Structure 1
Amino acid sequence: MAPIAVGDVIPDGVLSYLDENNKPQTVSIHSIAAGKKVIIFGVPGAFTPTCSLKHVPGFIERAEELKGKGVDEIICVSVNDPYVMGAWAKSFPENKHVKFLADGSAKYNQALGLELDLTEKGLGTRSRRYALLVDDLKVKVANVENAGEFTVSSAEDIIKAL
């Protein structure tokens, strides 16, 4: 499938997270994004260096600015289970706005056309690194990285596009 592009409607998909009692729950992307301006950013893996030291912190640090520019939700998606995503979220105690959602089977990233096959590196199917700006389910900005890069999908890149 071709990667999601500007003008496309995002596919619906079910992602998971841990509730306040550490119980897995599911949520539909459309239920979060319909009628709202949202950022969905994907990372190859929780607790990995670029994701943990640059990508996620940028969205956490700039969340208030993004909200001030009309962004309703900021969603981090990774091909991990909800327990890993919950633990990763807790490693950012300053976070007040970024939601961490698990795409454990990579089905949502496949629906976006943004999966990354890292089987040869022992990591299986992962997500490409990306940042989408979505307004009422329609993609307004699609910043998708080449494998191993972090040059176009930062919070700063989305702020420039707003």
Structure 2
Amino acid sequence: MAPIEVGNVIPNGTLTYLDDTNNIQYVSIHSFAANKKVIILGVLGAFTPICISEHVSSFIEISEILKAKGIDEIICISVNDPFVMNAWNKTFPENKHVKFFADGSATYARALGLEIDLSEFGLGVRSKRFSLLVDNLKVKVAKIEGGGQFTISSAQKIIKAL
């Protein structure tokens, strides 16, 4: 599939997360993002160096500003299970607004056309690093990285587009 781009409607898909009682919950992206302005950020994997120190943290740091500018939801998606995503979320005690969703089998990354095969590094199929600004399911801004780069998908790049 061709990569998602500006003007496209995001594909529907189901992601998972752990609720407050550690039960797996399922969320439809279309139900979650309908009639909202949402930032979706995709990362190569939970606990990976750039994702921790730069990508996700950039959104956590300015999440209040993003909310003030009209963003309803900020979600981080990774090809990990919901238990890993929950544990990773707990490493950001200052996080109040970024939700961590799991795409355990890279199904949603594939639906977006943003999967990357990192099998040669022992990582299997993952998601490319990206940030999307979505308004009522339609992509308004798409910042998609190549490989493991981190040059265009930070929160600072997205906020400039608001």
Could you tell me the TM-score, scaled by structure 2's length? 0.99
Other-structure match for 1:140: 140
Other-structure match for 1:3: 3
Are residue 118 (structure 1) and residue 111 (structure 2) matched? no
Q: Secondary structure at the match of 2:89?
A: helix
Q: Secondary structure at the match of 1:30?
A: helix
Are residue 40 (structure 1) and residue 20 (structure 2) matched? no
Instruction: Give the length in aligned residue pairs.
Output: 162
Matched-pair identity in %: 69
Once residues 131 and 77 of structure 2 are traced to their aligned partners in structure 1, the CA distance between those partners, rounded to angstroms, is: 10
Structure 2, unaligned stretches of length 5 or more? none
Q: Secondary structure at the match of 1:161?
A: coil
User: RMSD between aligned alpha carbons?
Assistant: 0.4
Superposition misfits of 4+ residues, deviation over 4 angstroms: none
Superposed displacement of residue 23, structure 1: 1.0
Other-structure match for 1:65: 65
Structure 1, unaligned stretches of length 5 or more? none
Superposed displacement of residue 32, structure 1: 1.1
Could you tell me the TM-score, scaled by structure 1's length? 0.99
Other-structure match for 2:20: 20
Amino acid at match of 2:85: M
Once residues 88 and 114 of structure 2 are traced to their aligned partners in structure 1, the CA distance between those partners, rounded to angstroms, is: 22
Other-structure match for 1:105: 105
Spell out, residue by residue over 1:120-157, the C-alpha distance to the aligned partner (whole angstroms, 9 max, x if none): 11100000000000000000000000112100000000
